């Protein structure tokens, strides 16, 4: 193994490349666990367990963001959500947009989705994307961050909006036995 000298200052291009490398590893880790679980338990039980793990992961992310917001004495409302992903290197570019009259954003060239496409594993990779509504509902169950478009679903970019949740969605998200993935839509 070669030794890499660490500089105190890193240019933006190099920083993006480093985040992209780490993100590709996360995408591979997700695929490895997911495929192993599906092989061991079969498609139906395997997918259910993967989604349970993704929900748990999302809850941990959302709870962490909620804790930071609370430390600042702020309310857990959408305007106070602090982004939990790196600004650089996760995608080629991102932009704010308007989706059916709602504030939203688009992400082009998601590193995770690109890798899943390269490997022909979009369907299993897509299970990871359910972390988005899960993290947001853990932050505040009255809202979900949902995909209106998603690269692993065949779209050219990922597009998200924040929308209010229903009482049924809150119940289904909380109940470990219920399918909660339907929440990831902009009704």
Q: How much is the pLDDT for 75? A: 95
Q: 3 lies in a domain?
A: no
Residue owning tokens 């790196």: 86
Q: 1 lies in a domain?
A: no
Handedness of CA 39, 114, 51, 155 (dihedral sign): negative
Q: 83 lies in a domain?
A: yes
Domain containing 73 equals 12-183
158-164 sheet: strands from edge to edge: 93-99, 102-108, 158-164, 143-149
Task: Give 3-29 pLDDT, tens digit per residue.
Answer: 666 767 888 899 899 999 999 999 999
Question: Which residues does 120 contact at the CB level (< 8 Å), separation at least 6?
Answer: none
Number of domains the chain contains: 1
CB atoms within 10 A of CB 108: 14
Q: Mean pLDDT throughout 112-122?
A: 96
Question: Which residues does 150 contact at the CB level (< 8 Å), separation at least 6?
Answer: 113, 126, 129, 158, 159
Vertex 114: Cα angle to 87 and 20 (nearest 5): 40
Q: 128 lies in a domain?
A: yes
Residues 47 and 127: beta-carbon distance below 8 Å? yes
Task: Give 134-184 pLDDT, tens digit per residue.
Answer: 999 999 999 999 999 999 999 999 999 999 999 999 999 998 767 899 999
Q: How confident is the model at residue 88 (pLDDT cuts 50, 70, 90)?
A: confident
Q: 22 lies in a domain?
A: yes
**CATH assignment of the domain containing 94:** 3.30.1380
Q: 92 lies in a domain?
A: yes
Q: 2 lies in a domain?
A: no
pTM for the model: 0.90
Q: 97 lies in a domain?
A: yes
Checking if the pLDDT of 85 tops 90, the result is no
Per DSSP bridges, beta strands 102-108 and 93-99 are: antiparallel
């Amino acid at each position: 193994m070669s030794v890499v000298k660490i500089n105190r200052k890193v240019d933006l291009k190099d920083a993006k490349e480093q985040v992209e490398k780490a993100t590709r590893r996360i995408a591979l880790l997700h695929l490895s666990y997911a495929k192993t679980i599906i092989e061991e338990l079969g498609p139906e039980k395997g997918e259910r367990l993967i989604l349970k793990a993704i929900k748990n992961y999302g809850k941990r992310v959302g709870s962490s963001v909620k804790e930071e917001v609370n430390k600042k004495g702020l309310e857990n409302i959408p305007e106070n959500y602090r982004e939990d992903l790196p600004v650089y290197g996760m995608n080629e570019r991102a932009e704010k947009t308007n989706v059916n009259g709602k504030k939203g954003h688009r992400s082009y060239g998601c590193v995770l989705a690109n890798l899943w496409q390269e490997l022909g594993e979009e369907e299993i990779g897509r299970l990871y994307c359910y972390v988005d509504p899960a993290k947001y509902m853990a932050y505040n169950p009255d809202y979900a961050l949902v995909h209106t478009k998603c690269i692993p679903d065949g779209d050219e970019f990922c597009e998200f909006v924040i929308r209010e949740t229903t009482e049924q969605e809150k119940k289904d998200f909380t109940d470990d036995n219920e399918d909660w993935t339907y929440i990831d839509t902009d009704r």
